[in-house]
Structure 1
Amino acid sequence: MDNKSTLRPNAASAPDQNPVMVLLVDDQLMIGEALRRILADHRDIDFHYCSDPTKAIATAKEVGPTVILQDLVMPGVNGLDLVRRYREDPATRDVPVIVLSTKEEPLIKSEAFSAGANDYLVKLPDRLELIARLRYHSRAYLNQLQRDEAYSALRESQQNLIKANLELQRLTKIDGLTGLSNRRYLDEYLAAEWSRTARLRLPLALLMIDVDEFKRYNDTYGHLAGDDVLKTVATAISSHCRRSDDLAARFGGEEFAVVVPEVSRDQVDELGTQLCRAIEALGLPHRASRVGGHVTVSVGAALWIPDEKDSPAALIEAADRALYQSKAAGRNRFTLAS
C-alpha cells in the first residue's frame, strides 16, 4: 500500500466533495504501477494498492475504499471467492467492486456478477473509461451511505417519537400524585368493562374508597403530609389489585376506586374488608380523627351483571351509596350494596 494518508469517506458531506478512494488488489506490481500513473493526475482520486490478496479484506478495512479494483486471477486465491468474501464482511459488503480480467469472456463476466461484482473491465482499461467508472461507482456508494444514514436517523427519530407518544399516553392515564390510574382512564376502563361483561353476562364490581376524616388530617398536619398519606394509601390499594384486569384509580381528592371484573360476592366482601384492615394496619398517626388514632378508610362496593341498556354511572352511584352507608355506620368499614 502506498504512503498516502488514509481518508475515509465522509457520508455527511456531498458525494462530489469526497475523494474517490480506490483500492487495487492485484498481485502484479506492474499493473499496480500502471494504474497509479493513470490516476496520479487526478487530485480527487486517492489510490491504494494491495499486492497480497490474503490481506485484501484487512487492507480494505484500514483504507475505507469507495471502490475496489479486483483482479480475478491471483496465486493462491480465487478472485471470485474474494469478491464473495467482500460481500460477506459487514465492513466491505456494500463497497463497489470492479473486477479486472485479461479478456472479455461472457461466462466469467456472468460468474463475476453472480459473486457480487458491480462492474467488469478488461485490463488495462482505457484511461477515460476507468476514471469515469471509478467516479460513478464511488459516487453511487457515497449516495447509498447518505441514504442509509438518513434512513437510520429517520428510524431513530420515529422510534423516539413512538416512545414519547407512548409515554404521553401513559401520563394521560396516570394520576400525577399517587401513580394510580386517573379519573379519565377510570371512566374509559369502566365503560369498556361494562360493555364487555354485559355482552358476556358476567359480574362487574366497583369499590369506592374514601380516606376518613381527611380534611381534619390536612388541617392538623398540613397538605404536604396529606399528599404523603394519599400516596401511601394508593400503594396499599394497588397492592391488593393482584389480577391483571383489576384497576385501581384515584377518583378525586381523597377518594379512590377499584374496578374488579368477573368476581363473586364473597370475593368482593373479602377485598373490601382487606382494604380497610390494610390501611388501618399501616399505623399512620391521625390524632384529629374521630374514628381512632390512625388513618383509616371507608369502603363501599356494588356488584352487578351489567345491562347494555344502562350505563356505568349507575354502578358508580350504587357503590357511592354503599360508601355513604359505611361512613354513616361509623367509618373504617366495608359495605356491599344489596
Structure 2
Amino acid sequence: MITQQDVKYLGAECMLRRSSLRSQLLLAVALACCAILSTQVMIRYMWTLPQFSHLALYNDKLEIKRFKSVLQLQLKRLQNIAYDNAVWDGSYTKALARDQQWFKDNFMIGPSFQHLSINGLYFYDNEQQLLAGMSVDNNLQPITITMFSAPQDIPTKLLISTEEVQQNQLMPVSKTSFIKINDKPAVVISQSIAPSLEQGVSAGTLLLWHYLDSSFIGELMPLANDDIRIIDPAQESDIALHISTMLQTDDIQIKLWKNSLYLGVLGLDNQLLLVFAIPQSPRIYDEALFNPALSAGIAVSFLTLLLFYLYISRKLVEPVRHLLKTISYVNFSNDYSARANLRGHNEIHKLGRLIDQMFELVAQQQQKLTMKNRQLQDLSNTDALTGLANRRYLDEYLETLRNTVVNRKQPIAMLVVDVDFFKRYNDFYGHAMGDKVLQQVAIALQESTHRATDLICRYGGEEFVLVLENTSKEEAMVVAGNLCQAVEKLGIPHQTSAASKVVTISVGLAVKPADAIIEYETLFAWADAALYIAKDNGRNRYEVA
C-alpha cells in the first residue's frame, strides 16, 4: 500500500531527475564538443586551408616558372645552334658567294639534323633567295615545306632584312617566332648571317625550326613527357580564359582548371597558337573541410570529453545524486537511519560523512524523544497509583472498539467494580492504607483476568471498570464471581465495613450480545445501575443488568 509519504518521496525523486546534475553536465559536455568542433572547423576553414591553398598556389607558380624556364632553355639551345652556324666566316663568305652546293654538302645531311635535334634548316641570301634548305619529320624522313622553298610564301617577319641589321648597328639579329607548319605548331629561329667578328653587313638569313610536339617536350623534360599536354586553342575555345601566363611575357596569374596549369604561346599575328597543359603541383593536404585528420581530432576530442564526463560523473555527480537522494528520502520519510555511506576523500565525500553523522545524532535525539513521548503517553493513559489504565485510556479504547467491524459482531461484557465502604476505610485507617488497598485490589483484578483482550482500568476513586471482548453473559458472570472471591480472599481487615470484616467489592455487569448495536455509554450505564443494585442487596456480590 502506497502511503502519502511514498507519494511525496516519489515526487521528490521525479523532481531530482528533472533537475539532474548529470543532464546539465552532459549538456555542458555536448556544448564543449560543439565548441571544439566549431573551433577546429573554423580554424581549418579560416586559416589552415587558406595557408595550404596559398602554399599550393605558390608551388604551382614555381612549377609553371620551372617549365617556362626549361622551355626557354630549349629555345636558347636552338638560338645558339642558329647563331653558331650563321655567325661564322665560312657561312658568311659562302652566302655572299651564293655557293648553294657548299651549304648542301655541309648542312643538308641527315646526321646533322639528328645531332642538332631539329626538323628543318634553311639558308637565304641577303636578297631573301633560298640558297639551300631541308626539312625532316621526327623519324628523320625528308618532308617538303612549301612555305620555306618558295620565298614569296615565307612570312616577311621570319626573314631578316639588311635594314634590320643596319638598324642594329651591323650587329647580328636574331628572332624567335611561333607558327604552324603543316598545321602543326612549331618554333622558328631566324638568325642573320654575319662574320665571326659579328660586325658587318648581313649576308642573308638562317632559318631553323622544330615542331612543338611530344618529342620537343621529351627533349625538355624526359620524365614529364606523358604529363604535359599540348592543346590546340581551336579545339577548346574556353582555354584562353584559363591561361596563367604567356611564354612571351613575365607576368604569371595562377589559374587552375581541370587540375592543370596552362602556358600559352602567341603566333606571328599575336594570336594564341598553342597551349601547354602542365599538371598542378601535388596537393599534400586534403582540400575537404572535413578531412581524416580533422575527423580524427574531433573523435579524440569527443573521446576525451566523454572520459572527462564519465570521470566527473563518477567522482562528483554520482556522489551528489546519491547524497541528494538520501537527504530527500530522510526529508520525506523522517527515517534518520538512512545513510549516504560515501567512500572517498574529496569534499563531497567528507560532506556526506558529516551529513551521516548529523543523521546519526538526529536519530539518537529522535529515539530519546520517542521514548520520552512513549513515557508521557503511558503516564497520560496509566493510573499512577495502581498502574492500571486510566479513564482517558478507557475512552480511547471504547472508541476503538466502536470503529472496529469485527467487535460489532462479537459479545462484549462490561463490569463496573466498587470497593465496599472504602470511604469509611480511609477515614478509619488513613489514606495511605487506603492507597495500599487500591493497589492490592488492582493486583487481584489483574490476576483474575488473563486474556489479552481483557481491559482493567481505574475509573476513579475506588471504582474500577473491566471490558471483556468476545465474552458472553455466562462467561462474564463467572469472571465477576471470581473477582469478588479474589478480593475477599486478600483478607484485608475492614472493621468499619457493614458487609464483611475484610475488604470486599461489589460488581455491576452488563453484556452487549453479538450482532447487537449498543452504545458503550449505554452499556456502562446498565453496568453502573447493576452495581447499585448489588450495593442495595448487601454488597460483596455481583448483579447482572
Q: How far apart, in 2, do the equivalents of 1:272 and 1:228 lie? A: 22
RMSD, aligned CA: 2.7
1:245 offset after TM fit, Å? 1.1
Unaligned runs of 5+ in 2: 1-302, 317-343
1:290 to 477, 491, 498: 498
Letter in 2 for 1:201: K
Q: Deviations over 1:240-283 (max 9, x none)?
A: 22111110001111000100011122211110000000000001
Shift of the 329–236 alpha-carbon distance from structure 1 to 2, 3 Å rule, reads same
Aligned residue for 1:164? 372
1:173 to 381, 385, 408: 381
Q: Which moved more, 1:275-284 or 1:263-272?
A: 263-272
1:191 offset after TM fit, Å? 3.1
Shift of the 303–216 alpha-carbon distance from structure 1 to 2, 3 Å rule, reads same
1:193 offset after TM fit, Å? 2.1
Q: How far apart, in 1, do the equivalents of 2:375 and 2:468 lie? A: 26
Letter in 2 for 1:217: Y
Letter in 2 for 1:231: Q
Kept in 1, the 8 Å contact 2:448–2:483? The answer is: yes
Q: Secondary structure at the match of 2:345?
A: helix
Aligned residue for 2:362? 154
Q: Deviations over 1:208-257 (max 9, x none)?
A: 10000101000001111101111110111122221111100011110001
Kept in 1, the 8 Å contact 2:408–2:515? The answer is: no
Q: How far apart, in 1, do the equivalents of 2:368 and 2:407 lie? A: 39
1:185 offset after TM fit, Å? 1.1
Shift of the 265–292 alpha-carbon distance from structure 1 to 2, 3 Å rule, reads same
Correspondence 1:143-292 to 2 at 5 A: 143-196=351-404, 200-292=408-500
Shift of the 198–158 alpha-carbon distance from structure 1 to 2, 3 Å rule, reads closer
Q: How far apart, in 2, do the equivalents of 1:309 and 1:331 lie? A: 31
Q: Deviations over 1:145-200 (max 9, x none)?
A: 32221111011111111222222222211111111110111122123324536864
Q: Deviations over 1:19-59 (max 9, x none)?
A: xxxxxxxxxxxxxxxxxxxxxxxxxxxxxxxxxxxxxxxxx
Q: How far apart, in 2, do the equivalents of 1:253 and 1:307 lie? A: 34
Kept in 1, the 8 Å contact 2:472–2:513? The answer is: no
1:140 offset after TM fit, Å? 4.3
Task: Give the TM-score, by structure 2 length.
Answer: 0.36
Residue correspondences, number: 209
Q: How far apart, in 1, do the equivalents of 2:356 and 2:405 lie? A: 50
Letter in 2 for 1:304: K
Q: How far apart, in 2, do the equivalents of 1:143 and 1:219 lie? A: 69
Q: How far apart, in 1, do the equivalents of 2:462 and 2:350 lie? A: 63
Q: Deviations over 1:76-117 (max 9, x none)?
A: xxxxxxxxxxxxxxxxxxxxxxxxxxxxxx9xxx9xx9xxx9
1:314 to 522, 525, 536: 522
Q: Which has the higher contact order (CA 8 A, sep 6+)?
A: 1
Unaligned runs of 5+ in 1: 1-105, 120-135
Aligned residue for 2:543? 335
Q: How far apart, in 2, do the equivalents of 1:326 and 1:198 lie? A: 32
Q: How far apart, in 2, do the equivalents of 1:272 and 1:238 lie? A: 12
1:141 offset after TM fit, Å? 4.6
Kept in 1, the 8 Å contact 2:512–2:518? The answer is: no
Aligned residue for 1:47? none
Q: Secondary structure at the match of 1:158?
A: helix
Kept in 2, the 8 Å contact 1:195–1:308? The answer is: no
Aligned residue for 1:301? 509
